Amino acid sequence: MERNFTGPDEYQKHFMPKDYLATYYSFECGSSSETEMVKFNLQCLHQTFGPGGLRGKTLIDVGSGPTIYQVLAACEAFSDITLSDFTDRNREELQKWLSKDPGAFDWTLVLKFACELEGNSSRWQEKAEKLRATVKRVLKCDVNMSNPLAPVELPPMDCVLTLLAMECACSSLAAYRAALCNLASLLKPGGHLVTSITLQLSHYMVGKREFSCVSLTKEEVEQAILDAGLDIEQLLHSAQSYSTTTAPNKGICFIVARKRLGP
C-alpha cells in the first residue's frame, strides 16, 4: 500500500460532492484545463456510444461520484443504466439530480455540449429526461471487492463504464490490477469495458482536502486490462491535464476493451 492512501473511510467522511463539482465541472470559464478535460471525455464518449458505436441493454457506471456527464452519450445506446459509488453523499447527489431536487447540481452547460456533439444542442432538456428514464438504480459499490456491488447481484452486463475513479480507489498497482478483474467479472463475455484514467496522478484536491491516487503509466494500464481478460479495441492517449494545483496528472487515457469470449 502506498503511503497516505485515502481509503474508503476518508471518502465517506470527507469527499464533498459540491466541492468536487465546483472544481471539476463548473464548465463556465471557457477554456480552463478542467473544462478541457470534461470536453475530452465527452468527445471520446460520443465517439464510443454515438452512431455506429457500442449498443446493448445493460450498462453500469462504476465510481460515478456525483456526476452524470459520463452517461449522456450512453443513454442513447443502452436502455438500462446503473450508477454506483462508494459514498452515501455521492449517491445522494445523484438522486437529487435524478429527482429534479432544486438543490441538485446544474448540468445545463454540459448537457448542451453533449447534445451539440450529437448535432442538436437545443435537445438538452429532452436528453436530461431520457437519462433520468434510463437510469434504473443507484447502488453502493466498492471496486476492491470481488463483487463490487455486494450484497447486490446483477446479471452480467453488456458494458461497464468507469471514468476517473479506479486510480482514486486503488492503493497500488497490484490493487488496480485486482480491481480491474473485479470490474471484468461484472461483464458478459464479449461485453465492453470503457474507461478513462488520468496518468501519473499522485493526488487531487477536493475543496481543501487532498485525496491520494495510484500513479499509473499508460503501459501499466494497458497490461492490467489485458491481464484482466480483455482485448483493447481502442486507446486514445492525450497530453490533456488538469491544473497542477488541482490534480497534477500527466495526460489521460481513454480505452475501449472487450472481454474475451474464452480463457
Position among 43, 87, 215, 241 found at the interface with ligand SAM (CB under 6 A): 87
Check binding of 147 to ligand SAM (CB under 6 A). Answer: no
Position among 144, 200, 202, 240 found at the interface with ligand SAM (CB under 6 A): 144
Check binding of 113 to ligand SAM (CB under 6 A). Answer: no
64 annotated as belonging to a binding site for a ligand:
yes
C-alpha to C-alpha distance for 116 and 46, rounded to whole angstroms: 10
Q: For ligand SAM, give the closer residue by CB, 61 or 76.
A: 61
C-alpha to C-alpha distance for 134 and 80, rounded to whole angstroms: 5
Choose the binding region for ligand SAM from 82-90, 126-134, 185-193, 230-238 (rule: CB under 6 A). 82-90
Residue type at position 98: L
| Diameter over CA atoms, the chain | 49
Q: How far apart are the first and last CA of the chain?
A: 30
Give the CB-side neighbour count of residue 44, counting CA atoms within 13 A. 26
For 169, counting Cβ atoms within 10 Å of its Cβ (0-12 exposed, 13-18 middle, 19+ buried), the class is buried
Site track for ligand SAM across 185-214, x = CB under 6 A? ------------------------------
**Total binding residues toward ligand SAM, as defined by CB under 6 A:** 21
Beta strands 80-85 and 58-62, pairing class = parallel
Check binding of 71 to ligand SAM (CB under 6 A). Answer: no
Check binding of 85 to ligand SAM (CB under 6 A). Answer: yes
57: its cell numbers: 441493454
Check binding of 90 to ligand SAM (CB under 6 A). Answer: yes
Check binding of 93 to ligand SAM (CB under 6 A). Answer: no
DSSP 98-143: HTT-TTS---HHHHHHHHHHTT-GGGHHHHHHHHHHHEEEEEE--T
C-alpha to C-alpha distance for 38 and 28, rounded to whole angstroms: 12
Check binding of 63 to ligand SAM (CB under 6 A). Answer: yes
Residue nearest to ligand SAM (CB): 65
Footprint of ligand SAM on residues 159-178 (CB under 6 A)? Answer: 163-165, 168-169
Binding site for ligand SAM (CB under 6 A): 8, 11, 15, 63-65, 67, 70, 85-87, 90, 141-144, 163-165, 168-169
Which residue positions form the known binding site for S-adenosyl-L-methionine? 20, 25, 63-64, 69, 85, 90, 142-143
